[in-house]
Amino acid sequence: MKRTFVQVCLALAATSLCVQAAPGGKQEHVMFAAGKTSKAVSGSVQGKNTLDFLVTAKAGQLLSVSQKAGSKAYFNVNSPGSELAMFNGSMSGTDLKNRQLPNDGTYTVRIYLMGGAADNNEKVPVNLNISVTSKPLPPLSEKMDAKVGKTAYHATAPVPCKYYLDPKLTSCEGGVIRRGKDGTATLVLKMKGFNRAILFVKGKPVASDSTEEMKSVKKGDLTTITFGDKSEVYEIRDVFVTGE
């Protein structure tokens, strides 16, 4: 059965890995002052509403988000264009430290309540510190590596993959944004209902937008990437990442 995003999100909702924006939920773009890499932000969240802080960052940069312990509010971090968490505060705590980002775009720091605080429509103050540090890894120019049509990708191809919520899945569409001639690139795998972004640096997968631990095994020109207890599996050929 092919899974839509809604089906995937419903399957994960009980774990708070998918907290969708509430209708009318507030959003605030986080802008850093000139020469600064961090900013303190504040607000409040009530009941089953959400509060989003939107942070624009680049692949290779490091994102940190800290919150005072003891708050009834939790935060998730979603990768660009996704409602699935790459960091889940209700499971991982009040601090995200130096998370390397796999792709360019706007990351969402989503604040929400759970349990009695949400059910009783409590209003909870929110105070966070958000920072983006380290140099980005810019994509290769079209002069160095032509792109596929009007896409951001330097190449696209089917990639062997497996996903535990879709046992019949054997292949997903992959796109690669090359960021160097040394195997540094962002790989985006288009699954049924969501995308998975993986950052390679010098041919090795080093970061992703998953909450689960990423492991990789390389044999010859094939890198097999797994997440968690093999809930996701991808088989990546070197030539797809490097173009050579």
Q: Domains in the chain: how many in total? A: 2
The chain-wide mean pLDDT, for the chain, equals 91
* Half-sphere exposure of residue 198: CA atoms within 13 angstroms, side-chain side: 29
CB atoms < 10 A from the CB of 201, how many? 18
Pair 163, 216 in one domain = yes
> Residue 7 pLDDT more than 50?
no
Is residue 111 domain-resident? yes
Cα 217 from Cα 25, distance rounded (Å): 42
Cα 97 from Cα 74, distance rounded (Å): 16
3-state secondary structure (DSSP) of residue 148? coil
- Domain of 48 in residue numbering reads as 5-133
- Burial of residue 35 (CB within 10 Å: 0-12, 13-18, 19+) is exposed
Is residue 23 domain-resident? yes
Pair 163, 127 in one domain = no
Pair 101, 174 in one domain = no
Per-residue pLDDT, 66: 97
Pair 108, 160 in one domain = no
Pair 124, 187 in one domain = no
Token representation of residue 104: 């360019």
CB atoms < 10 A from the CB of 126, how many? 19
Pair 36, 92 in one domain = yes
Pair 118, 225 in one domain = no
Q: Is 99 in contact with 64 (CB distance < 8 Å)?
A: yes
Is residue 149 domain-resident? no
Task: Enumerate residues 6+ apart whose C-beta is below 8 A from 139.
Answer: 104, 152, 154, 177, 178, 179
pTM summary value? 0.91
Cα 214 from Cα 225, distance rounded (Å): 7
> Residue 2 pLDDT more than 70?
no
pLDDT digits (tens, 9 = 90+) for 18-43: 677 777 789 999 999 999 999 999 99
Average pLDDT estimate for 192-197: 89
Pair 160, 237 in one domain = yes
Per-residue pLDDT, 18: 65
Q: Which of 101, 133, 165 is the last residue of a domain?
A: 133
Per-residue pLDDT, 17: 59
CA 141 centroid distance within chain: 24
- Residue 9's nearest CA partner among 84, 60, 70 is 84
Per-residue pLDDT, 69: 79
- Residue 198's nearest CA partner among 81, 103, 127, 129 is 103
CA 165 centroid distance within chain: 19
> Residue 11 pLDDT more than 90?
no
pLDDT digits (tens, 9 = 90+) for 104-146: 999 999 999 999 999 999 999 999 999 999 999 999 999 999 9
Pair 75, 191 in one domain = no
pLDDT digits (tens, 9 = 90+) for 149-187: 999 999 999 999 999 888 899 999 999 999 999 999 999
Per-residue pLDDT, 61: 98
Average pLDDT estimate for 86-106: 95
